[in-house]
Amino acid sequence: MTKRLSAVGAPRVGVIQFPGSNCDEDCVDAFDRHFDIHATRLWHQNTELPPVDALVIPGGFSFGDYLRSGALAAHSPLMQQVKKFASRGGPIIGICNGFQILTESQLLPGALLHNMSQQFICRQVTVKDEHGRQFSMPIAHGEGRYWLDEKSLSEIEDDGRIAFQYCLPGGSTTFEANPNGSVANIAGVYSKNKKILGLMPHPERATDSLMGGSSDGLIVLRDFLNRI
C-alpha cells in the first residue's frame, strides 16, 4: 500500500499507552507493516507530547475499566497535551476504549454505556460509513452502547458527523444489525472539524485476510492518515 506522506516525510504517529491497553501493539504493527510508518509509543504519564502528526488512542481496558470505561484515563497527564493537540487541529483516532476516553475527555460528544444485553460482546460486525461504504470489522466491548440526547443527535446528523453505523450486509441499519443498542445504530462519530474519529470496531484487527477474513480496517486507517 502506498505510504501517505506529510510535510516532514512519513507521518509521525504516536500511540498512547495506558495501564490495561491491549491493542496498542496491534496498532503499532498495523502502521508498520502496511504503511511503513514506525509509530512512537507514548506513556500516559508523560507531561510532554513529542512532535507528532497524528495520535492513536487504542483499545483495551485502561485502568481496568474501574469507575467507567475511559473515565480514569481521561485524567492522565498526557491527555492535557492531547487536548492541546486537538485544539490545533491535530488528527486523532480513538478505537474502542480510545473512543470511550475521547468522550470522557469531551473531545467527542455523547457517552458509551453498558451494552443493552449487559454482556461483553466479541464478534465480527458490518458497518457502513457516511459514504455508504461497508466494512467488516470485529468488536470487543462491554460498554459500547453510544448515547446522546435527541438535540445533539440531530446536530451530528445534520453536520454529517456520524462516521459509522452498524448495518446488515447490504446496508440496512436495522435493530438486528445493532449489537449493543447504540442510538441510531452509531458505531463511530467525528468531531466538529472531522479531525477526531472515535469508533467501537477495531480496524487494527482487520488488516489481514488471514486474521478474521477481512482487511477492511486498512481502508479506515488509510482514511485517517489522509486527514494529516
Catalytic residue flag (residue 202):
yes
* 182 in any annotated domain: yes
- Check pLDDT > 50 for residue 2: no
pLDDT one-digit tens code per residue, 21-52: 999 999 999 999 999 999 999 999 999 999 99
* pLDDT tens digits, one per residue of 11-25: 999 999 999 999 999
pLDDT confidence of residue 3: 44
CATH of the domain at 36: 3.40.50.880
Q: Is residue 25 part of a domain?
A: yes
**Residue of 23, 27, 96, 167 with catalytic role:** 96
If one counts the domains in the chain, the total is: 1
Joined grid coordinates for residue 81:
497535551
104 lies in some domain: yes
Distance CA 207, CA 30 (A): 7
In a domain, 8, yes or no: no
Are the beta carbons of 220 and 204 closer than 8 angstroms?
A: no
C-alpha cell at 110: 455523547
41-55, 180-194, 201-215, range with the lowest pLDDT: 201-215
Is 38 designated active site?
no
| Residue 176 bears catalytic tag | no
* Catalytic residue from among 23, 44, 104, 204: 204
Residue 3 maps to a domain: no
The mean pLDDT value for 56-80 works out to 94
Determine the structural domain holding residue 132 and report its residue range: 13-225
- 5 lies in a domain? no
Strands in 27-161 per DSSP E: 40-43, 54-57, 92-95, 111-113, 121-129, 134-141, 145-147
